Structure 1
C-alpha cells in the first residue's frame, strides 16, 4: 500500500495538468528515452531474473531484458535461456509501434480531440490501429467499474432515477438494423455520480432489484410515476420516495421534485452515442462505461492522470 501511494504521488507529479504541448515534447524522445521515462512512473517495469531474483539488465539492441549473470543466461547444456521482452506484462504488451504514439493517442482520446482520421494523420498510424487502441483505453473504463460498482445515495442524499429508450445497431443477415432497448439509471445530486444499466424489461421486478443493488438504504429517491416504481417506499431499505407526474408538470408544485438532472444525463449519453455511431450491440456496454468514466474522472486537468493511474493499478509492473 505504501509503495502504491508513492506511485500515485509520482504519477500525479508527472501527469496532472499535462498539456498537449508536453505530449509532443515527450514524442521528441527516442524510443529508449521514452521507455526509460515510463519506467520512472511505473508504466513499464524492471523485471527480476527467475533464477537469482536480481534485477535484469536491458539489452538495447533488441529491447529485451537479460540477467547479467552468465549462469542464469545459460541452460544446463549450454543453450541460452529465453530473455524477457521490455513490454511484457504491461499495458503496452500488444504494441507494435512506438509507445510515445500510444501515449499521444490516449491524450487525444481522453480529451476528445479530433476524429479517427485526424489521429491517423497526426500520429502516422493506421485506422484499425487507432480503433483497436481506443478500445483498449475503453477497456480500462470497463475494468474500473467492474472493480468499483457505483453505489449511490445514503441518508441525507437524493438520487433521481429514470429509464429511457435507446437505439442500438444489430446486424441482421445483410445489413445493420436499428433495435430499441431500455436503459435504466440513477443520478446522485451534489456529487454527479451515476449508474446506467441496459435492461431487457422495465417491469417492477427488474427495476426494484437494480434500485436495491445500486442505491444505499435511507436515500431519498425521485422518480416519475411509472407504475414499476410504486413499491419503492415499501421496500425494507428505508427509502423515501418523491414523484413528479410528467403528464402534468416538469417540477412537482408541492414537493419541488423533478428528474431534470437524470434526463440531462440521458441527453449527454445519447449525444456521445450519436458521435460514436456505429455503436453496435456487442460494444454498447463498453460505451456506457466510457461515458460514466468521463463523467466521474474527466475533469480537464485530472483526466489524463486519472486514466494512467488506473492503468498502473490494473497493470502492475515490477519496479
Structure 2
C-alpha cells in the first residue's frame, strides 16, 4: 500500500477547509495522487507538452525543421482525458469534496444539496462512479498468507429473510480469510454458483504454500488439490485438535465481527450489494485521516493517465493538423 503523502493526512472537516471552493488546490491534490498527469509527452514530437491552466489542457507547440522551414505541432489534449474527470462539467473541488463526504459515515444527499449545490440525480451518478472505485479496490486486494503462514477461512450469509414468502429479501454471501498471527485479512463477496467461485477467490487472495484452516464444507475439498496445506476443523463436538479449533473460531469471529454490524437496509437493491459491502470494507481498512489518500490512489489505479498512445479520434485530429501545419520561416 502506498505511503501517505507528506501533509496529506487530514480528517473530514480539515479536508473541507483545505479544498472547498479551491479548484487549484483540488487539481494539485489529484495530480499528487496520480489521478491527473504530472506531464504529457507529445505522441508526434516526443516533447514534453506545456500546460494551460485556463483551459485545463496540454499542448505541444514544438517546431521542427523541414527543408529550411519550421513547422509547428498542433497537438493538444485535455488534462482530464481518460481520468475520472473526463467529460465532467463539475468543478474539481466539488468532486473531491463529494468523495470526502461519500467516504464518511455521515453520508447523505441533503448535505450535497446545501454545501455543493448538487441535485440528487447528480449525486446518484457520482455515487455510482465512486462505488466502482471501491469495488475495484475489493477486486484487487493484496493476497495474504505464504509458505507456512496459517490462514483461517470462512464464509457467511448476511441479510434478512422474507418469512411470508420464504425468499431472500436482502442477502449476500461473503467469504474471507485472516492470517492467524498478523491478522492481515481479505473479505470479498461470494457470488453464485458458490462452489465454483469459492476456489477462484482462494487462488486469487491466498498465496501458495499457505496453511489453510477451514470448516468441513464440501466446497473446500479442492483446496488440497492445489499448492496449499489444508486443515479441517470439526465443530460438531468431537474435535481432536481443540487448540487449533479454538484459534480458528477466534480468528473467524475477528474477521466478521465488524462486518456483521453492516445490515442491508430496506430499499437497498440486490444488484448493488457488492457496492454497499465494498464501501464498508474500504471505510474499515482506512482511518478517517488517510481514507481520501488511499481512495484517490485507487482512482489513479483505475483511471491511470496515459497520453502516449493516441486513440483514433486524436490521430485523425493530429493528421488534419499535420496537413495544415503552420510554416514558420527561419
Same fold (TM over 0.5): yes
SS at match of 1:239: strand
Structure 1 residue 202 displacement after superposition: 5.2
Residue matched to 1:219: 211
CA distance in 2, matches of 1:275, 1:229: 31
Residue matched to 2:246: 256
What does 1:176-187 correspond to in 2, within 5 Å? Answer: 178=169, 182-187=173-178
- 1:309 correspondence with 2:297: yes
Moved over 6 A (4+): 230-236
286 and 226 in structure 1: CA distance in 2 versus 1, 3 angstrom threshold: same
CA distance in 2, matches of 1:25, 1:254: 50
What does 1:107-126 correspond to in 2, within 5 Å? Answer: 107-126=100-119
Residue matched to 2:264: 274
CA distance in 2, matches of 1:51, 1:210: 44
Per-residue CA deviations over 1:45-77 (Å, capped at 9, x if unaligned) read 243334333333344554433334588xxxxxx
After superposing the two structures, state which structure 1 stretch, 185-194 or 207-216, moved more. 207-216
CA distance in 1, matches of 2:187, 2:214: 15
Among residues 41, 44, 54, which one is paired with 2:36 in the alignment? 44
CA distance in 2, matches of 1:280, 1:164: 14
Structure 1 residue 273 displacement after superposition: 4.7
Q: How many residues matched? A: 293
- 1:244 correspondence with 2:235: yes
Q: Which has the higher contact order (CA 8 A, sep 6+)?
A: 2
CA distance in 2, matches of 1:54, 1:276: 56
Residue matched to 2:279: 290
Structure 1 residue 101 displacement after superposition: 1.0
Per-residue CA deviations over 1:229-270 (Å, capped at 9, x if unaligned) read 57867977322222323x899xx6895255355356556445
14 and 88 in structure 1: CA distance in 2 versus 1, 3 angstrom threshold: farther
307 and 259 in structure 1: CA distance in 2 versus 1, 3 angstrom threshold: same
Structure with max Cα Rg = 2
Among residues 266, 279, 288, which one is paired with 1:300 in the alignment? 288
Structure 1 residue 104 displacement after superposition: 1.0
Contact persistence 1:222–1:242 (CA under 8 A): yes
143 and 135 in structure 1: CA distance in 2 versus 1, 3 angstrom threshold: same
Among residues 132, 139, 143, which one is paired with 1:139 in the alignment? 132
SS at match of 1:49: coil
SS at match of 2:81: coil
Residue matched to 1:74: none
- 1:188 correspondence with 2:176: no
Per-residue CA deviations over 1:109-164 (Å, capped at 9, x if unaligned) read 22323322223322211212222222222222232344446444652424141332
* Gap regions ≥5 residues in structure 1: 72-77, 170-176
SS at match of 2:5: helix
TM-score, reference length from structure 1: 0.70
SS at match of 2:134: helix
After superposing the two structures, state which structure 1 stretch, 84-93 or 307-316, moved more. 307-316
